[in-house]
Chains A and B, each alone.
Chain A
Amino acid sequence: MLETRNLDKSFGAVHVTRDVSLKLERGERRVILGPNGAGKTTLFNQLVGELTPDSGSVHLAGADVTALPVAKRARRGLSRSYQKNTLFDGLTVEENLGLAAAVHTGSATQLWSDSLAKPEVREIVEEVAEQVNLTDFLQARVSEVSYGVRRQLEVGVALATRPHVLLMDEPTSGVGPEMAKGFHDLLNNLPRDLTLLIIEHDMDLAFDVADTITVLNYGEVVFDGLPEAARGSSLLKEIYLGSWEDA
């Protein structure tokens, strides 16, 4: 469903992505682990087209999308959520979800009708709001809701484009244990045919959700395999998991 072949990216002398090759099957849920500065978010940025790789390619559903801009990749079913909330703060939760749903249904550029009043948009908004537990917040302005609700909305906006592949950059970043538990359910309840690639530091969540785990270190894939194998890997313990295992 999503594949990278020998992706390479440098910023000056800093090599942030080194020859990264990944292959995600349809419906696969993969978690990317790695210490800060390992190049996880830079990899995401290259996957969605916000950064151009120096070399290598990105393939979506078998087609080479390396040269496509962000919007075109999104229209082909590649969606992402951000580590730092990237929402429409002055608008309501409903309007946030509606914007994404309108782009998906093609009503975002229509002049003679209100996209949010369209039945197909409303259907997506209501469905996604239920998925991310935001039904009670639909009329609230984003600027007025809590940080945790915003994190849920961040994922909801990405889901409202009805993606085939969803990239989630630290969905539980900054939320408390109770809210993080809610994210376990949220991720586990997503449709099984949706391909997920998640950057996550919450190990419980990572091992709960992941079918496969990829570990990046200094921009390089140092582990790619099943969660059970990741738990037993001494290399992983050394570069990343030591503190978690000891805890």
Chain B
Amino acid sequence: MFRHNALRCTVLLLLAAAALFQALTAGYFGLEILTEILILAILVLALDIAAGFGGMVSLCHGALMGVGAYAYAILSAKAGLSPPVAMAAALALTGGCAWVIGAICARSHGIYFIMATLAFGQMAYSYVFEAPVFGGDDGLGGIARLDLSLIGVDLNDSRSFALFCLAVLGAVYGASVLILRSGLGRSLAGVMHNEQRMRALGLTVWRVKADVFGLSGMIAGLAGVLAAQHVMYISPGLLSWTVSGEALVVVILGGLGTLVGPLVGAAAFVLLKHELSALTPHWHLVVGVILIAVVMSRANGIFGWIEACWGGRAERRAAKAVRKQKTKEVLSDA
């Protein structure tokens, strides 16, 4: 089950403080990068719940993000629904789609689960790419942001939108912790550790997996709605398997199954991408080398490495304290 410890709380506070500082002080370009990080962080939190805590390594979370984005765009821009209603409907639709995918794929494991989710993702991508109602290759534009003028917030302002995304990310993180600490989350931990025994105890395992995948998909859909509002334009590329692959890279880079790690991964990935792409068009090569180094180091991503160092330091401190105590005892005996 997910537990917060001193290190996780510290890293979380540092990340929140850095994001808040950036949101309040950065210029336009800095705010755009921050918003990109925050939206990616929501997507990778969704993926970490499914993959890191449930063993469901998905290659369709990009597509689910796209479903959320397109549903919001169609319902708000074409069907004329108000943005909050369109947003709620988009989340419900994405959650429903994800639940069905989870229910179908729940009986498969490992590479077969990955391939099944990839197939679902590519089906969605191909359909959206070819269907005129979704604007085909050209995508859809004219997407409105939420209207929060009632509380005096103008989300068309980049700073306000970045702060709004930060608030949403905070809420999503809190919801993720609650999910993982709930009865459903505990059962998911049981399934992850020993699926056969959970079944023998009377648990309908596929249902637990489908429920968690549905919730995870809903969060991915929320990332999609925010992405659509951020750029105010969407294209089928959002549903491509490469988006899912990139999200998986970020989760592994940050630290699978830690919740905090993927947030670190999202920040590291977007910053690396922007810094390196300014230096070389082959920035993917550098990111690839870093990913290989992280995987080969056997640490659980950047956060896993930090945790290992922290744990080692704590152990050394404890050993030093024992040595000090023993020396004191010897001296007092003498």
Interface residues in chain A, defined as those with a beta carbon under 8 Å from any beta carbon in chain B: 48, 50, 69-72, 74-75, 79-80, 82, 86-91, 95, 98-100, 102-104, 107-116, 118, 157, 161
Contact = CB atoms under 8 A, between A and B. Distances in A.
A152 B208 CA distance: 28
Contact of A90 (B178, B193, B201, B204): B193
B124 interface: no
Contacts of A108: 183-184, 186-187, 203, 208
Interface of B: 1, 178-179, 181-184, 186-187, 189-190, 193-194, 196-205, 207-208, 211, 215
Nearest to B207: A109
Contacts of A111: 179, 182-184, 211, 215
A103 B201 contact: yes
B193 A74 contact: no
Given A70-B199, A75-B202, A87 B182 contact: no
Nearest to B186: A115
A157 B199 CA distance: 13
A117 B197 CA distance: 22
Nearest to A48: B200
A91 B189 contact: yes
B183 A113 contact: yes
Contacts, number: 102
Given A74-B201, A99-B201, A161-B202, A110 B184 contact: yes
A80 B200 contact: yes
15 contacts: A71-B205, A86-B196, A86-B200, A87-B194, A89-B194, A91-B189, A102-B187, A103-B198, A109-B208, A110-B182, A111-B182, A111-B183, A114-B183, A115-B182, A157-B197
A80 B201 CA distance: 8
A102 B183 contact: yes
Given A87-B194, A89-B193, A109-B211, A100 B182 contact: no
A72 B186 CA distance: 20
A69 B196 CA distance: 12
Given A87-B197, A89-B194, A109-B208, 16 more contacts: A71-B201, A71-B203, A71-B204, A90-B189, A99-B198, A100-B201, A102-B186, A103-B202, A103-B203, A108-B187, A109-B183, A109-B184, A110-B183, A111-B179, A114-B181, A114-B183
Contacts of B184: 108-111
A128 B196 CA distance: 21
Contacts of A102: 183, 186-187
B201 A79 contact: yes
A99 B202 contact: no
Contacts of B211: 109, 111
A237 to B, nearest CB: 35
Given A71-B204, A104-B202, A91 B1 contact: yes
A70 B195 CA distance: 12
A70 B193 contact: no
Contacts of A113: 182-183
